[in-house]
Each structure stands twice: as structure tokens, then as C-alpha cells.
């Protein structure tokens, strides 16, 4: 069979690309080996899909080339996607920090994309695995389990490696290499961090203890959001965010009380309540179980009058600059995204087209562009998919 544009991957980027190309009158076929389209959209945002972020800017993305995402992001913006959502009367709200969610269900976003595909004449076939791709004179011959498809343009929208149980494969990277593209080393991003040995033993039984606000810092990069102790280490949005910037051996620091000036506050508490035990005073700043544990392991817990002012200042400074020795990450099994991927040097930033092989495009997470937590990754999928769909 023949088509103008064949898209491999019916996820966020592939479906958006299909809509844009179909609207231009191109015959479009999307194939996906999974049994339904948009599985990651369905599971995203706790089932409500954090579909974009009002604060989207190129600086919110990690890539070997920090300029690469600029063009596509500027030409398909959060406002463009919101207009689409509103056209389909999907109710949405801003949760915090510019993060936009559906009021009801992620299913509505997948429905919207499929309806738009249908309106643009783009066909979507699921349970259709791709076995082989070869270059032909007119374009590409793609062998699928349902037969060979000939297409002028081929768009690779196969996503990253995270959550293999949802259909993630390394297929897009293999295809990139087949056509001579470099692939930057991949690793799990937006992922919980693990502790081991004595570091784990100290905090393991705090699993479930949460800080509504904490700072997490690696070098000059810092995030402030919630933090959660788990059975294996640390999670919560602040940890997920910093995980994309952390590599084994890096020095990770936490601010356990970012709203306080603990180095001044503790001496003031000594004056105000000299008989109170340190662990009870700290429980005003931190979850009680954490305050108690820090005292057991590090500070002791005596009446405040028994600490020198300098000691209390030192403890205060420590709370704002707490060193964590992470041993690793939870890996692709739970990661929201995959860092690295198809090297942007080989792609046009305005169309996502290969500079090596005309007619070949890479969009979405398979490309070496990874966003922060909070709707940034979908916005990259929409924007890069749209850019390719305008050109393919
Ligand atoms: P995506 O992974 O969506 O799609 C790739 C498609 O290709 C899949 O349908 C897959 O089956 C198919 N495929 C793979 N290999 C294939 C092959 N060999 N043959 C045929 N088909 C193949 N982001 C965000 O902005 N807001 C959020 O709320 C969330 N929440 C979230 C929760 C969880 C649990 C995860 C794992 C991830 C998120 N994300 C997110 C990240 C977001 O889901 C992700 O960045 C986008 O889905 C990437 O879109 P793509 O279309 O590039 O890949």
C-alpha cells in the first residue's frame, strides 16, 4: 500500500504530527505496535494529563544543543494547544506553577487527538508492529505485520525507553543509527532516586513522610517542590526534577526547610523556650518523624539551653544544605522520560527533518530534548510533532 506520510508511533508527538500533515491534504497513516493509541497520555498526570505548562521556555529543556527546541516551541505554543482543548470543550484548570490539567480525564485528550486525526483524514492503526525499514527511490518501504507500506515521508515518533510495559522500545534509536544518525547516551529522567547501605538504613523507615516544600540542588541547578521519603530512597516532584540533572557521584543537596531562616530561627527558639527539646522544636519546621530521626542520627536531642548558639546556627545551616548520597535511580521502570536520544545535530530544528536522509523525521521524546516535570514534555511532543507535520 502507498501513503504520503507514514508515522511510526501513535503517542503524543505522532498523533499531533498526523493532524498537522493531514490538514495539509497529505495522506497519512500512523502505525503503533501497542493495542491502543496514546497510552502514556492516558496514564499521565495521575489520569488527568498535565498537557502543557504556561511557563514553557527553551530553558526548561535538557539537550546537548539548548537552542534546538526554540524554533518548534515558538511556532506551536501552549496557547495553541489550549485553543485545541477548548475547541473540543474539554474543561481544564491550572494546578500550580503553570501546570494545566484536564478537570476530568486524560481519555478526553486522546479522544480529541483521534477525532482531529479523523477530521484531517489521517488513519491510525494499532497492534501494527514495524519489522523493517528501507530507503527506496521514492521514499521508504516499511514492512509491518500487515504488509509493506510505501511512503514519501517517514516520521519516527516512537518515544523513549521509560515504562517498557507501556510499549516503549529502543526502535527509534535503532532506526536513527540505521540511517547514520548519532544517538546520545540515554538514561532515565524525572525518576525517583535510590539510597543504599547506611544511607538507606537511616531513612528507610521514614517511607511515606512528605515535605510539602523542599529544595533539591545539584551544582547551580535547583528546584523547589514537594519531597517524599520512599522505601528505597527519595521521590516527590523536587527529586524527580533534580534527577534529570543528577548523575552518579554528583553532590546532591536538599533544603529541608526552604521557607524558614533556620540559622536565625533556632537561636531565637533557644531564647523563647530554653527547656524544649531540640527534636520538638524542629518538629515545628519538619515532619515530626523526620525531626526525630535527624536528632537521633546527627544532632542529639537535649533541651535547647544546652546547645550553644553557634551549634544551633550550624544545625540551621545544615537543614538548608543537607547532603544526600544517592546511589542511583529507579530506572526506566518508573521514569517519566528518557534523557538523551537522537542527536539534534543531525536534524533541522524548524522541521525535525534528517539532514542526512531527506523525508526522514524524528519527533517527540526519541529526540535528545527532555523537559522538566509539569507538562513540558507534552508541549515538546505537540510542538515537534506539529513542526514535522507542517513539512512532511
Ligand atoms: P510516546 O511514548 O507517547 O509514544 C510513542 C509511541 O510509539 C507509543 O504509542 C509506542 O507504543 C509506540 N512505539 C514504540 N516503539 C514502537 C515500534 N517499534 N513500533 C510501533 N510503535 C512503537 N509529560 C507531560 O508533559 N505531562 C504529564 O503529565 C506526564 N505524565 C507522565 C506520566 C508517566 C507515568 C509517564 C511515563 C510519562 C509522563 N509524561 C508526562 C511524559 C510524556 O508521557 C512523554 O514525554 C510523551 O508521551 C512523549 O511523547 P511521544 O509521542 O514522543 O512518545
Given this model, what pLDDT does residue 338 score? 98
Q: Is the pLDDT of residue 321 over 80?
A: yes
Nearest CA owner, ligand 1 atom 43? 40
pLDDT per residue as tens digits for the range 13-28 = 999 999 999 999 999 9
Which residues, at least 6 apart from 184, have a Cβ–Cβ distance to it below 8 Å? Answer: 64, 340, 341, 342, 343, 368
The average pLDDT across 292-310 equals 96
Ligand 1 centroid distance, CA of 159 (Å): 5
Is the confidence at residue 316, as pLDDT, over 90? yes
Mean pLDDT value across residues 239-250:
97
Q: Measured in angstroms, how far is the CA atom of residue 196 from the centroid of ligand 1?
A: 30
Q: How far is the CA of 340 from the centre of ligand 1 (A)?
A: 15
- In ligand 1, the atom with minimum distance to the C-alpha of 37 is 9
Residue 34 pLDDT more than 80? yes
Q: How far is the CA of 168 from the centre of ligand 1 (A)?
A: 8
- pLDDT tens track for 58-113: 999 999 999 999 999 999 999 999 999 999 999 999 999 999 999 999 999 999 99
Whether the CB-CB separation of 357 and 179 falls below 8 Å is answered with: yes
In percent, how much of the chain has pLDDT > 70? 100
Fold of 193-329: Elongation Factor Tu (Ef-tu); domain 3 (2.40.30)
What is the predicted pLDDT for the residue at 264? 97
pTM over 0.90: yes
Region(s) of the chain under CATH 2.40.30.10: 193-329
Residue 168: pLDDT above 90? Answer: no
Q: Which CATH number fits domain 2-188+335-391: 1.20.1530.20, 3.50.50.60, 3.10.20.520, 1.10.3720.10?
A: 3.50.50.60
Q: Whose CA is nearest to atom 45 of ligand 1?
A: 377
Q: Which atom of ligand 1 is nearest to the CA of 130?
A: 19
pLDDT given for residue 288 in this prediction: 98
Look at residue 115 and tell me whether its pLDDT is greater than 80: yes
Instruction: Tell me, using a 6 A CB cutoff, whether residue 373 lines ligand 1.
Output: no
Q: Residue 167 pLDDT > 80, yes or no?
A: no
Average of per-residue pLDDT values in the chain: 97
Q: Does any ligand 1 atom lie closer than 6 A to the CB of residue 237?
A: no
In this predicted structure, the answer to whether residue 158 has a pLDDT above a threshold of 80 is: yes
pLDDT at residue 50 in the model: 98
**Ligand 1 atom with the shortest distance to the CA of 375:** 25
| Distance from the alpha carbon of residue 217 to the mean position of ligand 1, in angstroms | 27
Q: Which of 55, 69, 158, 370 to mutate to test the pocket of ligand 1 (most atoms within 8 A of CB)?
A: 158
Which residues lie closer than 8 Å to 293 by C-beta, 6 or more apart? 202, 203, 206
Report how far ligand 1's centroid is from the alpha carbon of 13 (Å).
8
- Average pLDDT for 361-384: 98
**Is residue 297 within 8 Å of 229, Cβ to Cβ?**
no
Give CATH 3.50.50.60 domain extents, the chain: 2-188+335-391
- For residue 341 and ligand 1, the question of a CB distance below 6 A is answered with no
Q: Is the pLDDT of residue 29 over 80?
A: yes
Write 33-37 long-range contacts (CB < 8 A, 24+).
33/126, 33/127, 33/128, 33/129, 33/130, 33/167, 33/169, 34/10, 34/126, 34/127, 34/166, 34/167, 35/126, 35/127, 36/126, 37/10, 37/11, 37/110, 37/113, 37/114, 37/124, 37/126
30 ligand 1 Cβ < 6 A: no
User: What's phi and psi for 315, nearest 5 deg?
Assistant: -60, -40
Residues 123/30, Cβ–Cβ less than 8 Å: yes
Which three cell numbers mark 326? 544517592
Q: How confident is the model at residue 169 (pLDDT cuts 50, 70, 90)?
A: confident
Checking ipTM against 0.85, whether it exceeds it is yes
Among residues 333, 325, 334, which one has the least CA distance to residue 196?
A: 325
Cα–Cα distances in Å, from 331 out to 79, 83, 177, 243? 33, 35, 23, 11
Probe ligand 1: pick from 6, 17, 44, 370, max atoms within 8 Å of CB?
A: 44
Amino acid at each position: 500500500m502507498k501513503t504520503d506520510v507514514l508515522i511510526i508511533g501513535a503517542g503524543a508527538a505522532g498523533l499531533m504530527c498526523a493532524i498537522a500533515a493531514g490538514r495539509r491534504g497529505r495522506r497519512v497513516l500512523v502505525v503503533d505496535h501497542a493495542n491502543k493509541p496514546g497510552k502514556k497520555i492516558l496514564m499521565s498526570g495521575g489520569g488527568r494529563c498535565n498537557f502543557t505548562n504556561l511557563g514553557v521556555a527553551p530553558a526548561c529543556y535538557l539537550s546537548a544543543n539548548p537552542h534546538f527546541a526554540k524554533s518548534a516551541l515558538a511556532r506551536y505554543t501552549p496557547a495553541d494547544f489550549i485553543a485545541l482543548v477548548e475547541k473540543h470543550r474539554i474543561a481544564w484548570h491550572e494546578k500550580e506553577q503553570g501546570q494545566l490539567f484536564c478537570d476530568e480525564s486524560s481519555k478526553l485528550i486522546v479522544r480529541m487527538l483521534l477525532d482531529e486525526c479523523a477530521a484531517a483524514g489521517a488513519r491510525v492503526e494499532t497492534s501494527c508492529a514495524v519489522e523493517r525499514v528501507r530507503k527506496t527511490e521514492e521514499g521508504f518501504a516499511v514492512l509491518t505485520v500487515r504488509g509493506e507500506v510505501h511512503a514519501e515521508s517517514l516520521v519516527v515518533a516512537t518515544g523513549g525507553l521509560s515504562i517498557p510495559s507501556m510499549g516503549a522500545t529502543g526502535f527509534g534509536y535503532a532506526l536513527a543509527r540505521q540511517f547514520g544518525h548519532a544517538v546520545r547516551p540515554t538514561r532515565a529522567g524525572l525518576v525517583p532516586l535510590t539510597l543504599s547501605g547506611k544511607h538507606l538504613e537511616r531513612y528507610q523507615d521514614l517511607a511515606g513522610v512528605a515535605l510539602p516544600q523542599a529544595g533539591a540542588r545539584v551544582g547551580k541547578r535547583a528546584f523547589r517542590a514537594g519531597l517524599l521519603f520512599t522505601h528505597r530512597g527519595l521521590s516527590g516532584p523536587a527529586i524527580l526534577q533534580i534527577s534529570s540533572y543528577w548523575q552518579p557521584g554528583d553532590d546532591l543537596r536538599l533544603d529541608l526547610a526552604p521557607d524558614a531562616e533556620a540559622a536565625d530561627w533556632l537561636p531565637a527558639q533557644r531564647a523563647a523556650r530554653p527547656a524544649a527539646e531540640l527534636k520538638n522544636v524542629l518538629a515545628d519546621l519538619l515532619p515530626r518523624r523526620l525531626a526525630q530521626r535527624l536528632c537521633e542520627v546527627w544532632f542529639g536531642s537535649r533541651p535547647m539551653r544546652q546547645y550553644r548558639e553557634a551549634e544551633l546556627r550550624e544545625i540551621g545551616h545544615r537543614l538548608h544544605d543537607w547532603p544526600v548520597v544517592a546511589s542511583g535511580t529507579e530506572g526506566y521502570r518508573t521514569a517519566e522520560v528518557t534523557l538523551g536520544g537522537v542527536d539534534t545535530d543531525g536534524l533541522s530544528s524548524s522541521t525535525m527533518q534528517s539532514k542526512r536522509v531527506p523525508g526522514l523525521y524524528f519527533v517527540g521524546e526519541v529526540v535528545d530534548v527532555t523537559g522538566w516535570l509539569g507538562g513540558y514534555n507534552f508541549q515538546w511532543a505537540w510542538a515537534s510533532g506539529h513542526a514535522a507535520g507542517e513539512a512532511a
